[in-house]
Amino acid sequence: MLPEVLLRALWLFLPAFVANPTAVLWGGGRPVDMGRVWRDGRRILGDGKTWRGLAGGTLSGLTIGLLQGLVALKVAPDLLAFGSPLEAILVPFLLALGALLGDVAAAFAKRRWGLERGARAPGLDQYDFVAGALVLTALIRPAWVLGNYVVGEVIWGLLLLLLVTPLLHRGVNILGYRLGKKEVPW
């Protein structure tokens, strides 16, 4: 049924949705690129991508995913579970880490285009983490991504994800800015 498909698509993606804002909360300290510059003379990634952000965001996404697994067992395993016991751990981890690696890849692209840290890159800023999460998960667990987001009516879930992502992204970033956690409201 379509309502269940849509609910499930958003629910399963929570670890990825959680990873970016929590990376902002945890972030700081040593940058992933260690301050090094690329051959164009600009930073490889910039100070906005830190190890603490990567680790904190990944662990936060994983934690949410594990809690979701417990809720699923209690409430409705068929509708809400990530899959096998292994997938209940592996998939949230991959979604969260992938989301942040997508964000890192976007930062790399932005620096190569000469955009400073925090500069806007419409499209990329909103969708980098969705692409990263789905690509990393698909590399390790292709059947999971196909079965939950691609083949059959679940594709509507993917479309809903693409629709709500820019709205969520905007809302969360304005919140982060107001709380003083982000330097720019995007």
Site residues (vs ligand CTP, CB under 6 A):
23-24, 27-28, 46, 48-50, 53-54, 100, 103, 107, 110, 117-119, 182
Q: Compare residues 8 and 182 and give the one whose CB is closer to ligand CTP.
A: 182
Residue nearest to ligand CTP (CB): 53
Please state, in angstroms and rounded to a whole number, the distance separating the CA atoms of residues 50 and 123. 22
Q: Compare residues 50 and 126 and give the one whose CB is closer to ligand CTP.
A: 50
Please state, in angstroms and rounded to a whole number, the distance separating the CA atoms of residues 183 and 179. 10
Please state, in angstroms and rounded to a whole number, the distance separating the CA atoms of residues 108 and 113. 9
Please state, in angstroms and rounded to a whole number, the distance separating the CA atoms of residues 107 and 150. 27
- As beta bridge partners, residue 37 has 43
For the bound state, the minimum distance from the C-beta of residue 156 to ligand CTP, rounded and expressed in Å, comes to 29
For the bound state, the minimum distance from the C-beta of residue 108 to ligand CTP, rounded and expressed in Å, comes to 9
Cα angle: 11, vertex 106, 164; to 5 degrees: 30
Q: Compare residues 100 and 161 and give the one whose CB is closer to ligand CTP.
A: 100
Q: Compare residues 26 and 149 and give the one whose CB is closer to ligand CTP.
A: 26
For the bound state, the minimum distance from the C-beta of residue 46 to ligand CTP, rounded and expressed in Å, comes to 5
State the sign of the Cα–Cα–Cα–Cα dihedral 170, 173, 179, 184.
negative
